[in-house]
Amino acid sequence: MDHAAIAEVVEPAARQSGLEVDRIEITRAGKRSVLRVYLDGDGPEGRGPSLDEIADATRAVSAALDASPATGEAPYTLEVSSRGVTRPLTQARHFRRNIGRLVALTLPEEKLTGRITGADEAQVSLDVDGAAREIALGDIRKAVVQVELRKDDTDDLGDTEDRGDDGDELAADDDKE
């Protein structure tokens, strides 16, 4: 499979779905190929594509590839997903889509971890231990989102009571026999 020919088919199909191609990978798996398409976009809240948007784009990309000679006659498996949280942030839009998230940066003279508070085409704004920092994008050697696992003590209703599936409060421990 020709990477450039695949990109010419996939990129317009992704754009039609309101997304952009982050990268395309083609790997051999026996007699077939695995075509992986990683998508990105602003999504409904500016934080990346939703699962529904990825599903819509998958259908559009699949139909475009089926209608095109770009894949040739060889069998292949199509896999479409978002770019993933573990991928390095390399462009201004990546930082913008991750505002509010904790990120580890490698700079020429230091490494630091902070929460992204803003980003534009030239720099990223961070909160580093309560202090505001402005970092030029050109100075960033590597940037990776730090996955935070935290338990939220409130539910969607804003209270801390445990609730069953139907919204009824569960019995307290001292009411059990």
Quick one: pLDDT at residue 151? 56
Residue that has been written with the tokens 């934080």 in this structure: 47
Domain 3-82 falls in which CATH fold?
Answer: GMP Synthetase; Chain A, domain 3 (3.30.300)
Q: pLDDT by residue (tens digit) across 59-82?
A: 999 999 999 999 888 899 999 998
Terminal C-alpha separation, the chain: 66
Q: Where are the alpha helices (DSSP H) in 86-173?
A: 92-96
Query: What is the Cα–Cα distance from 173 to 177, expressed in whole angstroms?
Result: 9
Sign of CA dihedral 90, 92, 84, 74: negative
Q: Which amino acid is at 156?
A: D
Under 8 Å between Cβ of 82 and 49:
yes
Domain boundaries, the chain: 3-82, 92-145
Read off the tokens for 85: 């949280």
The CATH number of 92-145 is: 2.30.30.100
Q: pLDDT by residue (tens digit) across 47-62?
A: 678 889 999 999 999 9
Query: What is the Cα–Cα distance from 2 to 19, expressed in whole angstroms?
Result: 22
Q: pLDDT by residue (tens digit) across 119-150?
A: 999 999 999 999 999 999 999 999 999 988 87
Task: Give how far Cα 93 sits from Cα of 12, 118, 158, 177, Å.
Answer: 19, 11, 32, 56
Quick one: pLDDT at residue 128? 95
Lowest mean pLDDT among 24-28, 69-73, 156-160: 156-160
Phi first, then psi: give them for residue 69, nearest 5 degrees.
-85, 5
Under 8 Å between Cβ of 24 and 6:
yes
